[in-house]
Amino acid sequence: MELRYPRDTIRNISSVLIRHPAFLGATIGILAAFSQALLISAGGPEAYGFCVACHTRDLVNGMTNIVAGTSLALAAISKNSLLPVMSVAGVLIGGYISATLHREHRIKKGTRIEYLWYFLAGVAVLNLAMIFGGCPYRAALRTGYGDLTAILFIVAMAAGVILGAYLMLKKAEREDA
């Protein structure tokens, strides 16, 4: 029993740690810096270690360019490499592995009109993020890299979230009354 005790403690601590968002935040931050240090020779831009919107753009446009022979715009690091950056495919695979291992994989369906709204939201979010040049994650990486304009993005995003949450709160109150 005495021998098992520290191992259980370590296991408990690691399971709490893995489930805490701050641990993932630290992981992304350090590994994004590491991947830039490792791979920057392939091409820019800087502070590009992890970004859901940009890397989706690179993956889709890069594969379209390879398969269909088009020349859609994408970041230099993906243009120069053999294949474009694959982190979004990795996120899908990693999320699927974790959901399956922990029995949290559930098919959740919606209505067709919901699918349409989510599809349009996807198009809109990607285009808005590309106008800025990054999703919330690259904004955080750019802030860490010292780009002060990215702080403006984060502050504006917080303002948008507060307005949206306020509107949803009002709507919920109206439906209750």
Partner 1 sequence: MATGILPREAAIFFVPLVTLLLGILIGYLAQRSGYCSIGGFRDYFLFRHTRLLSGYLTLIVASCAGYLLFWFLTPDAMEHFFWALKSGVATPIPGAPGSLDTTAYLIFSIVPGFFVGLIAVFIGGCPIRQTVMASEGNYKAAWFFVGMCVGSVLFAAIVSGWVVALMRSLGFGV
Q: Measuring CA to CA, which residue among 104, 103, 123 is closest to residue 115?
A: 123
Which of 8, 11, 169, 170 is in the footprint of partner 1 by CB under 8 A? 169
- Residues ≥6 apart with Cβ < 8 Å to 144: 29, 47
CB of 137 to partner 1, least distance (A): 7
Contacts (CB under 8 A) with partner 1, residues 105-164: 105-110, 114-150, 152-164
81 and 42 Cβ atoms separated by less than 8 Å? yes
CB of 39 to partner 1, least distance (A): 5
Q: How many residues in the shown chain lie near partner 1 by CB under 8 A? A: 129
CB of 108 to partner 1, least distance (A): 5
Q: Is 137 helix (H, G, I), strand (E, B) or coil?
A: helix
Which of 1, 5, 7, 104 is in the footprint of partner 1 by CB under 8 A? 104
Compute the residue count for the chain. 177
Cα angle vertex 55, ends 22, 64, to 5°? Answer: 160
Contacts (CB under 8 A) with partner 1, residues 15-74: 18-42, 44-50, 52-57, 60-61, 64, 72-74
